[in-house]
Structure 1
Amino acid sequence: MKKFITTLKNIFAIEDLRVRILNTLFFIAIFRLGSFVVLPGVDPNQLQDNTSGIFGLLDTFLGGAFSNASIFALGIMPYISASIVLQLLTIAVPYFQKMQKEGESGRKKINQITRVLTIVITLAQAVGFVATINAEAIAINTTLFTITSMIVLTSGTVFCMWLGEKITDKGIGNGISMLIMIGIVSRFPGAIVAEFLSKQLNGALLFLFEILVLFLVVMSVVMLTQAVRRIPVQYAKQVGTSSLYSGQRQFIPLKVNAAGVMPIIFAQSLMFLPSMIASIWADSSETANYIGATFSDFTSWQYNVVFGLLILVFTYFYTAISVNPNQIADDLKRSGGFVPGVKPGLATSEYIDAILTKITLPGAIYLALVAIFPAIAMLFGVTREFSQFFGGTSLLIMVGVVLDTLKQVESYLLMRHYDGMMKSGKLRGRTENIAMVS
């Protein structure tokens, strides 16, 4: 505990870091405040719960802004959708591939296209969102309400984008990811209180057991996020002006879960299709009714089997498009590096691809287990709200954002620490990466 307090003192002793943390808290407070500002023309007392299915998932990411019919009801999600679309286009369309290779100017163009696409997606989703609001809650003319809501919701999403960029520039962590995480974490206190009250006094021991299981699940997700397979790389010897430097030994870190949370997002978006399609023939077919009911219940074994298989497929797919063994091999060859015992070029690419395939399988299986664990938790009596924190997209996003933020804070501490050592003239624990041979 003393070490923890000392670390906090060190964090706030660094002026730049202290200002960034305070800026982040200020921007987050604005974001949370906007989640409770109701759209003009809506009577909040007449709002009904419409957070089932995909709406419940959106409401979890948005911290209740969706169910509150607030000005941030769509939040940052349209921007996420636009970013995914642009990311896929840079892989499939040569025009966007060329733009991505143009460096800083290309990235600016892609960012501008992403913002424009975000506005288009937000306008389309705003119409759908208005349709989810029950007529009793709308206190003005329906047509006027639809038009004004489209404008306000689009403005709210653009403002959330601006907050995210400000957090990235002036605060700590990735702003967009931070806003999503805050929306998820804001539901945790209410969920844990509801879970405790549902167990009552005679279930206190069971509640403590659930907390223990949650802790173990979080730790395992941290391990999955951090796990890497290191491929040793040797660099050729270099001749200096008066000395010969032996090769430097480094590693290529291949993440066990290189796809991150994207396979779950893709798979979850497809899992709504069976029930939507089945609803078309719901009145005339018992089979359609069965399919619709089965795939509307995310605790059914049919739903989870299909969900798990889709995650396995999408994990391999997204890993294949995000990690390019040919490019890694070419970069190594150009820089004079090689994997010991493997020929440079094609052989190195095949070697990296074989290792990537092997480590992706256990990562994909565990990712599927993490995704379906909330359904398993519900089968054991955990409430729906609290079960969302036992796995799935919510937990992966929270762990990823927290780890990235802690890395940034740690980098500030390390820089300050090294400055102090340099001024004092004492260099302890110094290691030589390049051995000098006379």
Structure 2
Amino acid sequence: MLSAFTRAFRTPDLRRKLLFTITIMVVFRVGSFLPTPGVDYRNVQACIDQTAGSSDLLGMVNLFSGGALLQLAVFALGIMPYITASIIVQLLRVVIPHFDALHQEGQSGTARLTQYTRYLTIGLAILQSTTIIAVARNDLLFQGCTVPVIPNDGIMTILIMVITMTAGTAMIMWLGELISERGIGNGMSLLIFTQIAATFPTAMWSIAGGDNGATKFTIVLALIVLVVALVVFVEQSQRRIPVQYAKRMVGRKMYGGSSTYIPIKINMAGVIPVIFASSLLSIPGLIGQFGDQTAGWVIWLTNNVARQGAPLHMALYVVLIIFFAYFYTAITFNPDEVADNMKKYGGFIPGIRAGRPTAEYLEYVISRITAPGSVYLALVALLPLVAFILLGVGTNIPFGGVSVMIIVGVGMETVKQIESQLQQRHYEGFLR
């Protein structure tokens, strides 16, 4: 593998793309430490030392920002507004026929949908930055902190902070598109990978420095290796449905007669169901934060629904993950469309008639495949959480199922792209 990296850097074109990608990732990390105008950086650091950090409500946002949220940096929002906007645009394809028509138009329609995603990202960035600043002003970002993180909370200061954070989100979109255009891999995915991976060394060091640090560090490291192996095994697994194309005459030439297959992954929804479930479970915490903290219903809601590790929270987490796994798979994979395209080009599944029977067969296979896929998602999401609660190392460390799945998935996809670049130049790749 090391020799493959050496050959990659010896190839001028590939070396230029790799160095460009690394440079953008460094710039991205620098923006995560630049404080937003109006924020007292020393007070922020003091609050981080005084408290345990973010609440469960803001834990995922802080994870995807690489810790920039707690520091109220220029890139405090991270990539989350773009992720949310992309998911919303995909969901609108089911509700609004115009969006579905744009998706079927090909490259021009995809460009229009991308533009809509950008506009929606800016709108969500304005909304989220305003919410985060309001939370910071009301001392809800750092509960128990005795110093103000925004000393001057005048209207002009708040406006400048909102504009700065929104501009930071727009710059993150631009950096991601630069990587996709001139670098290696998917730009947005690599930026998410960068932010999550950046929090790992600090979290591991905090575990090693606590009570029984060496034992806990070894157990956590072994658990991470186990989860990574499980993610790699399942993400590479697929059900291959054979497809046969009949021979047909087009003019004087004969086409078709080939055999191929439809690859159906066990986990077709990716990490989206986990993100959806976490976002929905954060709403009760948000309601409880702005309510009367001494009220009985607020205390019950905070302790049983919003708190990670509570039995009811974990049960709802599993149910929501399974539901959204089926829901998102049904949105992204349309059996009727696949069956129509196969029928149009003379393809059929052996033993299954073309048309409606093919669509029903595909729908049957998808429902059977999604069942173990959803259970796998719930297991990966809950296994680290339960283990860390038993070990007593906390629940806000960045070793949850979402982070591990993203890092493994992005890493495998990037390695495959480098592999294809090396094979184009008649070199051996990473996998021999």
How far apart in 2 are the matches of 1:136 and 1:278? 22
Show the counterpart of 1:94: 97
Q: C-alpha separation between the residues in 2 aligned to 1:158 and 1:367?
A: 31
> Does 1:24 find its partner at 2:26?
no
In structure 1, the partner of 2:5 is 8
Paired residues for 1:398-409 under 5 Å: 398-409=407-418
Structure 1, unaligned runs of 5 or more: 420-438
Instruction: With the length of structure 1 as denominator, give the TM-score of the two structures.
Output: 0.88
Q: Is the contact between residue 216 and residue 391 of structure 2 (CA under 8 Å) also seen in structure 1?
A: no
**d(CA) in 1 for partners of 2:362, 2:294:** 53
Does structure 1 conserve the Cα–Cα contact (< 8 Å) formed by 2:241 and 2:261? Answer: yes
Aligned equivalents of 1:307, 1:139: Cα separation in 2: 38
Contact 2:203–2:398 (Cα < 8 Å) also in 1: no
Q: Are 2:353 and 1:333 equivalent residues in the alignment?
A: no
Cα pair distance change 1:138/1:275, threshold 3 Å: closer
Distance change >3 Å, CA 130–CA 353, structure 1 → 2: same
What's the counterpart of residue 34 of structure 1? 31
Rounded to whole Å, the distance in 2 between the matches of 1:375 and 1:130 is 29
Superposition pairs of residues 15-414 of structure 1, within 5 angstroms: 15-47=12-44, 48-49=47-48, 51-134=54-137, 136-200=148-212, 204-238=214-248, 247-277=257-287, 286-384=296-394, 387-389=397-399, 391-414=400-423
Cα offsets for 1:274-329 (capped at 9, x unmatched): 34445677568534522322122211111001110111111001001111111111
Q: Note if contact 1:375-1:387 (Cα within 8 Å) is conserved in structure 2.
A: no
2:418 is the counterpart of 1:415? no
In the aligned structure 1, how far is the partner of 2:4 from the partner of 2:426?
A: 12
- CA pair 403-123 structure 1, distance change in 2 beyond 3 A: same
Provide the rounded CA distance (Å) in 1 between the counterparts of 2:237 and 2:223: 21
C-alpha contact (below 8 Å) 1:374/1:387 kept by paired residues: no
Identical pairs, percent? 39
Cα gap change, 1:5/1:319 in structure 2, threshold over 3 Å: closer, same or farther? same
Q: Tell me, yes or no, if the aligned pair for 1:195 and 1:382 is still in contact at 8 Å.
A: no
Residues 370-379 or 295-304, more deviating: 370-379
Amino acid at match of 1:215: V
Between stretches 340-349 and 83-92, larger displacement belongs to 83-92
Give the secondary-structure state (helix, strand or coil) at the position aligned to 1:36. Answer: coil
In 1, distance between residues paired with 2:369 and 2:355?
22
Q: Secondary structure at the match of 1:320?
A: helix
TM-score, L = length of structure 2? 0.89
Contact 1:274 1:291 in 2 (8 A): yes
SS of residue paired to 2:105:
coil
The higher radius of gyration belongs to: 1
Write the letter of the residue equivalent to 1:17: L
